[in-house]
Amino acid sequence: MTRTSSHPRPAPADDLGVDLYRTMARIRHFETAASRLLASGELPGFLHLSIGQEAVAAGVCRALTDDDYLTTTHRGHGHCIAKGARIDLMLAELFGRAPGYCGGRSGSMHLADPGLGILGANAIVAAGVPIAVGGGLAAATRGRGQVAVAFFGDGAVAEGVVHESLNLAALWRLPVLFVCEDNQYAEMTPTETHLNNRDITAYASAHQVPAETVDGNDALAVFSAAERMVRRARDGDGPSFLHCRTYRWHGHFEGDAQNYREAAEVEAWRGRDPLRVLRLRMADESVPTAIDAECEREIALAVEWARAQPSPDPGSVTAHVYQPDGASCGS
């Protein structure tokens, strides 16, 4: 379903820190609201939240334009919001309502906005990675300087398709940024028990793709590395790999009993809250406080709107199964 977003994005701030903080706060308030709505029984389906990981989405997407592509995962709300997706349409989709991004049919794990280059969240681990390489090939063919970003978790790194994607992107020098969001668990499995080499950048280096590890809870550090890598891609110098070390505060999914990790580990990472990390670097405390209040209001209004929308017409159940003749996936 192609949808062109005409909804205005929040006014871009001159100050990088303010802009990054606003993006992270929007993600945090969106996901906090979604968590509550699921717990109260209002939202159907599954939710995988990225609370604690917001700096990766904000830092990487700050280096992109609306014309660039991204693909994301089952944990993709943050990436979509940071790329400019409409929060009201995302919430309508989570509620299963007709105006939602996918007509209320997909829920959280298949959000897409081709008009903004969001080529889709994907519930199949690693499946978005080759799609981003396809975006990179389209970008290279068009020659307009677009780039494509593949977000994926540490759990995707040993999937064969990630290596096929790295190889092809390197071989054809495609403008692709591979972003591994390493939250240290794949579902309930710690990374050291599913990856032989804990140095995740080594997998990229094996394909001669330049790689770097950054503190994924530091939005400024993520942005600085992503900006360099995006510039490299736009200049025709091929793909890069950004390994971001971070942590999810909530369970793998909402409702996860989390008996595979200690509460003290979660607490220690909460102490490195990416919003707080940035807040401490901002000169004026009142700015982030005002942004938080603004985001809370924005989300509350969007929830109210989404909740009041109609469900899809049952008579349309077979619609949107096939791409209509002549329709395109955006440009």
Ligand X SMILES: Cc1ncc(C[n+]2csc(CCOP(=O)(O)OP(=O)(O)O)c2C)c(N)n1
**Residues whose CB is less than 8 angstroms from the CB of residue 309 and which lie 6 or more positions away in sequence, other chains included:** 92, 95, 97, 98, 99, 100
Backbone φ, ψ for residue 313 (5° rounding): -65, 120
Instruction: Kindly state the greatest CA–CA separation across the chain.
Output: 56
* Identified binder of ligand X from the candidate list 60, 125, 148, 242, rule CB under 6 A: 125
- Token pair of 9, please? 């994005």
* Identified binder of ligand X from the candidate list 124, 202, 290, 319, rule CB under 6 A: 124
- Looking only at residues 156 through 175 of this chain, which bind ligand X when binding is defined by CB under 6 A? 156
Closest to ligand X by CB, 72 or 146: 72
CB atoms within 10 A of CB 82: 24
Which range of residues in 99-107, 134-142, 167-175, 184-192 is near ligand X by CB under 6 A?
Answer: 184-192
Dist CA 171 CA 294 (whole Å):
46
Size of the site for ligand X (CB under 6 A): 16
* Identified binder of ligand X from the candidate list 183, 217, 240, 246, rule CB under 6 A: 183
* Identified binder of ligand X from the candidate list 17, 104, 128, 155, rule CB under 6 A: 155
Closest to ligand X by CB, 5 or 191: 191
Dist CA 78 CA 81 (whole Å):
5
Closest to ligand X by CB, 124 or 319: 124
| Cβ at position 122, least distance to ligand X in Å | 9
| Cβ at position 253, least distance to ligand X in Å | 8
* Identified binder of ligand X from the candidate list 67, 187, 294, 296, rule CB under 6 A: 187
Beta strands per DSSP E along the chain: 69-71, 148-153, 176-182, 185-186, 189-190, 211-215, 240-245
| Cβ at position 175, least distance to ligand X in Å | 23
Question: What DSSP designation does 113 have?
Answer: B
Coil, strand or helix: which one is 190?
A: strand
Q: How far is CA 215 from CA 95, 96, 224, 245, 277, in A?
A: 34, 36, 11, 5, 11
Q: Residue 87: in which H helix or E strand, if any?
A: helix 87-95
Closest to ligand X by CB, 92 or 133: 133
| Cβ at position 49, least distance to ligand X in Å | 10
| Cβ at position 161, least distance to ligand X in Å | 9
- Looking only at residues 47 through 86 of this chain, which bind ligand X when binding is defined by CB under 6 A? 73-75
Say if residue 31 is exposed, middle or buried (CB neighbours under 10 Å; 0-12, 13-18, 19+): buried
Instruction: Determine the length of the chain.
Output: 331
Dist CA 277 CA 61 (whole Å):
18
Beta strands per DSSP E along 103-143: none
Closest to ligand X by CB, 178 or 185: 185
Closest to ligand X by CB, 130 or 145: 130
Which range of residues in 39-47, 63-71, 178-186, 276-284 is near ligand X by CB under 6 A?
Answer: 178-186
- Looking only at residues 234 through 293 of this chain, which bind ligand X when binding is defined by CB under 6 A? 252
Which range of residues in 6-14, 23-31, 103-111, 181-189 is near ligand X by CB under 6 A?
Answer: 181-189
For position 188 contacting ligand X by CB under 6 A, the verdict is no
Question: Contact residues for ligand X (CB under 6 A)?
Answer: 73-75, 123-125, 152-156, 183, 185-187, 252
